[in-house]
Amino acid sequence: MSTTPRHLIHITPLYASRLADAMEAGRSRDFATAVRAADRLMSDMAEDVEVTVPQRLETEQFRADLAYLTGDFLLATRLWTAIARSWTEHTGLHGRSRIAACNAAACWMELQGVQAVGLAPQLLDMLRFVAAPERTAAVRAAVERRLGRVFVSVRVSAV
């Protein structure tokens, strides 16, 4: 009987085992170990021509979760934005694309003003790309409202 979690069965056994170990470290709240393991795994997978897009994205999703859990909202926003776009490009629009898009927006909302402004164009572009405009209208409106507040606070602090 395999010890590989069911959702990782499409990943090659070596990578699935390493990802499962990293996930176990994360579940144990050993985030430093989990981050190191996930980063090493992502690096190794990037160099392996046999790795498929879904295999790579599975690992990136875990790393994005770790970034969120450790308060690295900048990295989490960047990863979730890229993941949403990649899922959509690779498999079309589906639940994973939408979840990744919502995760990206939620992480973006946690960013400091300057960071939020810097990533807003990529986030808004991704939101337009991964779903029909009416499906992401509420999220885009929330992002645009926050951008407006950030710009006002920047102007006030500059005075």
Q: pLDDT digit string (tens) for 39-68?
A: 999 999 999 988 888 889 999 999 999 999
What domain range is 45 assigned to? 6-158
In a domain, 110, yes or no: yes
Q: How many distinct structural domains can be found in the chain?
A: 1
In a domain, 57, yes or no: yes
One-letter amino acid for residue 101 of the chain = A
Q: Give the tens place of pLDDT for each residue, 123-140.
A: 989 988 887 666 677 777
Q: DSSP class of residue 70?
A: T
C-alpha to C-alpha distance for 147 and 137, rounded to whole angstroms = 15
In a domain, 67, yes or no: yes
In a domain, 74, yes or no: yes
In a domain, 21, yes or no: yes
Determine the pLDDT at residue 157.
Answer: 55
pTM of the model: 0.83
> Domain of 38: which CATH number?
1.25.40.10
In a domain, 1, yes or no: no
In a domain, 96, yes or no: yes
How would residue 33 be classed by pLDDT, with cut points 50, 70 and 90?
very high
In a domain, 127, yes or no: yes
